[in-house]
Amino acid sequence: METSNFTPAEEEQIEQAFQELLADYAASHHRQKVEIITRAFQFAKKAHNGVRRLSGEPYIMHPLAVARIVVREIGLGSTSICSALLHDVVEDTDYTTEDIERQFGEKIAQIVDGLTKISGGVFADQAEKQAENFRKLLLTMSDDIRVVLIKLADRLHNMRTLGAQLPEKQRKIAGETQYIYAPLAHRLGFFPIKSELENLSFKYEHPDLYEQIESRLAACKDAQLESFEEFAAPIREKLTQMGYDFTISARIKSVYSIFRKMQRKNIAFEDVYDLLAVRIVFTPNEAMSEKDQCWILYAAITEIYHPHPERIRDWISQPKANGYEALHITVMGRNGQWVEVQIRTKRMHEIAEHGLAAHWKYKTGESSSEKELDHWLLEVKEVLENPDPDAMAFLDNFKLSLFAHEVFVFTPSGEVKTLPQHSSVLDFAYMLHTQLGQHCIGAKVNHQMQPISYRLKSGDQVEILTSQNVTPIPEWLNMVETAKAQDAIRKYLKHVSSPQAPAPTQAYPVTVRIRGIDRFGMLVQIIQTISEKMQLNMSDLHIQTEDQMFDCQIVVMVYSSASIEQLCTELGTIQGLSKVEVINVNVNANTN
């Protein structure tokens, strides 16, 4: 780093950047503590006075940029903003942690101290040193998660300005960003940050490939955005008629995401059909559940565009481990191209953008995502207390724990399947097919015989073994983790306990047609009857209204003829419906 006096223009640039930080802070939901932030800025500016980055700009512009990321993109408050402004003071100047504590208190000093300890990179020349650097990172995270959130912001700004570094340094920083920081951002729920880190890492690790894909993407971007406007127009009109406050925006795939898809599917750029995705973010009606309203928007969209029957991703019924919630559908546009549509409420969107910081904002008691984070941090401490003597194994094992809520298991053919942590052989059997689960007697795990209760680990290769003489017993409920397995076992036990009950089967789709006089709230009542009262899942929904008459077809996943009869009976009690009939039953459908 160089030192030289700043010009008046540079002083003005610094002041403007600070005012922009204050504006970002003022726009946040945090209690305003401008005085301490101003003091932290002045302290950092004095400490870094005359110092320049490799790019030539005043060094203070870096902590200012990190602080803006902390508040605007991560959503943290004054303590974290001050810590971000001061994060390089102890490492790069003569000031000490004690000086920080005297000026700003113990908590900010602790965070700055944690950031100072992990100021170097994770990657090193020797594996043992590399593992030790990473262990420091994890120790600070287990003490105060804000240390790692500010470190993510620091890394994001360094990646955005990596062009000033030499190529060798670029590749090293990009490599450790891809290896550690992007998965860490994903684990904590910061999807935009994760995506940008991946994209920038790819840019510096594979510059030629990046430039090729970027130029081809730029060449078709205008056409993609024009296609979006045509696609979005009827949806805007429909949702406005329905009275929703919403935004609809285009999302073009990142260069890295396109590269990954080309690699994974072994296809050319021209064959990546889903370059464009559409995101709808709406304010829900308080009188109705968010889940039901997402399905109502789904119904409205699929009235306009035909959905892909195998491309529905329901993360509102079962959110991802890192808290992500949304309903993803793929529909056929009028130009003959498939388009993914993401449906989110404002709350879901903020959690997707700001990760666990948004969970704190909406906290009304400890959520499952917060419990999951606490559980994960506890596991981090356990790993640190009993580190693997093999340094590289330590790094690799912890990298797997960045996805701690999930295990990745291979079928005999090499296909990857994802299950919740602690899933058993029996869970895996039910995941592959209900009938495999119902008759599972064990498995070959990594070519070794294991019982149905064996808990799977990431990297296991599993071959399920079955016998027609074996069927579920009550004790199986204590061996499974997944909702699918639990549900299938309970349904089997319930059926066999009744002598009149038909033999159980896997869930299969039934198309129900519902007709009647249209009225306000009709669709909501139908959806609530199916999803809440009957506890059944829907896989498709189409509605037509004409001359105040309501005609709806819904595909519902059922397990028996008895549940079909009960469903029709329950729907028949809804006021205004004149007819409820089953028009298609597909018992042989493969729903796994």
369 located within any domain: no
- Is 68 in the same domain as 7? yes
502 located within any domain: no
**pLDDT of amino acid 365:** 41
Chain segment 508-563, per-residue pLDDT in tens: 788 999 988 877 777 878 887 887 777 777 777 788 877 778 888 888 888 777 77
- Is 45 in the same domain as 171? yes
592 located within any domain: no
- Is 102 in the same domain as 174? yes
- Is 319 in the same domain as 421? no
**pLDDT of amino acid 48:** 94
**pLDDT of amino acid 529:** 84
Q: Which residues are catalytic?
A: 91-92
Cross-strand pairs, 276: 252
Question: Tokens 């700003």 belong to which residue?
Answer: 104
299 located within any domain: yes
Chain segment 230-249, per-residue pLDDT in tens: 999 999 999 999 999 999 99
Cα distances from 174 to residues 157, 162, 249, in angstroms, run: 12, 9, 30
DSSP letters for 103-168: HH-HHHHHHHHHHHHT-S-S--SSHHHHHHHHHHHHHHHHH-HHHHHHHHHHHHHHHHTGGGS-HH
Low-confidence residues of the chain, pLDDT below 50?
A: 124-127, 360-373, 376, 379, 383-384, 386-395, 397, 399-401, 403-404, 500-505, 590-592
Q: Cβ contacts of residue 80 below 8 Å, gap of 6+? A: 70, 71, 74, 111, 146, 149, 150
Total of domains in the chain: 4
Q: From 496, 520, 535, give the residue that closes a domain.
A: 496
- Is 328 in the same domain as 215? yes
DSSP letters for 194-214: HHHHHHHHHHHHSHHHHHHHH
- Three-state DSSP state, 334: coil
Q: From 463, 496, 529, give the residue that closes a domain.
A: 496
- Is 446 in the same domain as 562? no
**pLDDT of amino acid 127:** 46
User: Which residues form the domain of 75?
Assistant: 2-203
- Is 140 in the same domain as 242? no
**pLDDT of amino acid 135:** 60
- Three-state DSSP state, 502: coil
Whichever domain contains 32, its CATH number is 1.10.3210.10
Tokens of 308: 């892909």
- Is 198 in the same domain as 221? no
- Is 13 in the same domain as 135? yes
- Decide: residue 418, CB within 10 A, 0-12 exposed, 13-18 middle, 19+ buried: middle
129 located within any domain: yes
AA letter at 33: K
376 located within any domain: no
- Is 169 in the same domain as 98? yes
368 located within any domain: no
Q: From 159, 176, 203, give the residue that closes a domain.
A: 203
| Stated pTM of the model | 0.64
- What 28-36 contacts at long range (C-beta under 8 Å, 24+ apart), as own/partner pairs, is 28/71, 28/72, 28/75, 28/77, 29/361, 30/71, 30/77, 30/78, 31/77, 31/78, 33/77, 33/78, 36/78, 36/82, 36/104
Whichever domain contains 515, its CATH number is 3.30.70.260
For the chain, the maximum distance between any two Cα atoms, rounded to a whole number of angstroms, is 90
**pLDDT of amino acid 447:** 83
445 located within any domain: yes
- Is 49 in the same domain as 183? yes
**pLDDT of amino acid 357:** 57
- Is 212 in the same domain as 199? no
